[in-house]
Amino acid sequence: MDFTVLVGEQPRDFLSDADAKTERIVRTNLEKLADNPYPRPGAGGGDREKLPVNGREMYRLHIGRTYTAFYTIHENEGEVRVREILPIDDAHKRYGT
């Protein structure tokens, strides 16, 4: 199943403020979620992981070693909703991952 990747307000602001190289790298990685947003078993730590955040099922995507995107998967709607993009160190402090 292909998913539609929707980008929320904070990620849109992040991308509009990013330099061209960062924007390209982040967008390329977010586009990969359309094919398969779920963590890949057997891929080691991988770039995707399921997390409980404030009692809500959420996923994180590491983008290089610099940023982390947090997203939710809405299987019935065929959507991946990117909720937030943070520098990786801020994401680790905030969510303890």
Instruction: Pull the structure tokens for residue 81.
Output: 């909703």
* Residue-level pLDDT at 43: 55
* Residue-level pLDDT at 96: 60
For residue range 4-40, what is the model confidence (pLDDT) as tens digits? 999 999 999 999 999 999 999 999 999 999 998 998 7
Question: Which one has a higher pLDDT value, 47 or 15?
Answer: 15
Kindly state the helix (H) or strand (E) to which residue 25 belongs, with its residue range. Answer: helix 20-31
**How many residues appear in the chain?**
97
Strand bridging mode 4-7 / 79-87: parallel
Please name the residues in contact with 70: beta carbons below 8 A apart, sequence gap of 6 or more. 51, 53, 58, 59, 60, 61, 82, 83, 84, 85, 86, 91, 95
Per-residue pLDDT band at 71 (split at 50, 70, 90): very high
Pick the closest to residue 72 from 37, 30, 97, 45 (CA basis).
37
Q: Is 61 in contact with 69 (CB distance < 8 Å)?
A: yes
* Residue-level pLDDT at 10: 97
Per-residue pLDDT band at 95 (split at 50, 70, 90): low
Domains of the chain with bracketed CATH: 4-95 (3.30.2310.20)
Mean pLDDT score of the chain, rounded to an integer? 88
